[in-house]
Amino acid sequence: METFGNTQHKIIHGDAVQALTVISDNSVDLIFADPPYNIGKNFNGHKDKWETEEEYLNWCYKWLDLCIQKLKPNGSLYVMTATQFMPFFDIYLRKKLHILSRLVWYYDSSGVQAKKYYGSMYEPILFCVKDKNNYTFNTDNILVEAKTGAKRKLIDYRKTVPTVYNSEKVPGNVWEFPRVRYRMEEYENHPTQKPIALLERIIKASSNENDLVMDPFSGTFTTCFVAKQLGRNSIGIELQEEYVKIGLRRLQLANEFKGEKLQKEVRTFETQKLATVHTLKLFEDSNGKYIHGKH
Ligand SMILES: C[S@@+](CC[C@H](N)C(=O)[O-])C[C@H]1O[C@@H](n2cnc3c(N)ncnc32)[C@H](O)[C@@H]1O
């Protein structure tokens, strides 16, 4: 196990269960846990598949218990897993925490998902707190447009004094955010990268500036990256060195790793664009547009 970073942002390269054991109890304000889902994804050569479902669930119960131990008494836990395992998480966690919301992260997909059953277009997230009378929830920082009031400008005549419907509201429990696609600016080389927008909502709602946010399965370190942007502190744990390198770069904690310069992977369309620019002798103007000849 190796640790990188500074007092505000730490990256632990190692196994989540081992790493969680060394973190102080009752010290973390917000945990976002997005573990392997036991569905056979390839995490840098490591297949995300346990021998049996029981083995997967028993492993999950181990790190879930540790997460609960590390949370402050007013802390919050958001946890994800595959749709087929979430009912087990729910039954396990409701005995230990208060589950306040069962969220659905919904996305559209133009690709064919399934032909003989209904394709999976959502991932479940549980939002749990230790103390339902004392937890952070920054309503004003996550408001979304309420269409009835904002777009249709309807008036509620059932009120004693007729009032225009609110134009903003707290989001409901179905959240639509596009998945991270290859051409998106935030894309990193990882099979299950979560969108910045999803983490922004969670971190804004359930933590304050200078709070400690922890992610035991960091992947591309989206959680820690957003935590940093929002002025929170972070701890990210990740088993794969390849992904730790992404974290070090995204959090600007290092420029190189074991002598290797940390650079974002150039995507195929970027190589093609660069080749065209080179062949046609184009120059980028101050607006980022490619033009013939310098002005
Ligand atoms: C679903 S992905 C997390 C993706 C992440 N939320 C993001 O936005 O990129 C799960 C991650 O857990 C890592 N992982 C698997 N087993 C682990 C373990 N025992 N300890 C720590 N990390 C582990 C995998 O390498 C993978 O990157």
**63 alpha carbon to ligand 1 midpoint, in Å?**
13
What local confidence, expressed as pLDDT, does residue 290 receive?
63
The confidence score (pLDDT) of residue 109 equals 78
Domain map (residue ranges) of the chain: 2-136+173-263, 144-170, 265-295
CA of 30 to the centre of ligand 1 (A): 17
Distance between CA 34 and CA 32 in Å, rounded? 7
* pLDDT profile of the chain (295 residues), mean per 10: 97 98 98 96 92 98 98 98 98 98 91 83 97 98 85 80 87 96 94 97 98 98 98 98 98 95 87 70 63 60
How far apart are alpha carbons 26 and 181 in whole angstroms? 37
Q: Which of 239, 241, 246 to mutate to test the pocket of ligand 1 (most atoms within 8 A of CB)?
A: 239
How many angstroms separate the alpha carbon of residue 149 from the centre of ligand 1?
41
- The pLDDT score that the predictor gives to residue 150 is 67
User: What local confidence, expressed as pLDDT, does residue 206 receive?
Assistant: 98
The CATH class, in words, for 2-136+173-263 is alpha beta
User: What is the 159 CA–ligand 1 centroid distance (Å)?
Assistant: 50
**pLDDT (0 to 100) of residue 269:** 82
What is the pLDDT at residue 2? 97
* End-to-end C-alpha distance for the chain, whole angstroms: 53
Minimum-distance ligand 1 atom for the alpha carbon of 219: 27
- Give residue 126's pLDDT: 98
User: Residue 216 half-sphere exposure, CB side, CA atoms within 13 Å?
Assistant: 30
Q: Residue 140's pLDDT is what?
A: 97
pLDDT at 86: 98
Nearest CA to ligand 1 atom 13: 217
**Confidence at residue 286, expressed as pLDDT on a 0 to 100 scale:** 58
Residues enclosing ligand 1, CB less than 6 A? 15-16, 34-36, 43, 190, 192-194, 217, 219-220, 222, 237-240, 243
Q: What is the pLDDT of residue 258?
A: 94
Q: Quick one: pLDDT at residue 197?
A: 98
Q: Whose CA is nearest to atom 19 of ligand 1?
A: 15
Q: What is the pLDDT of residue 273?
A: 67
Give the residues across from 98 on adjacent strands: 129
pLDDT value, residue 295: 47
Strands 155-156 and 174-176: unpaired
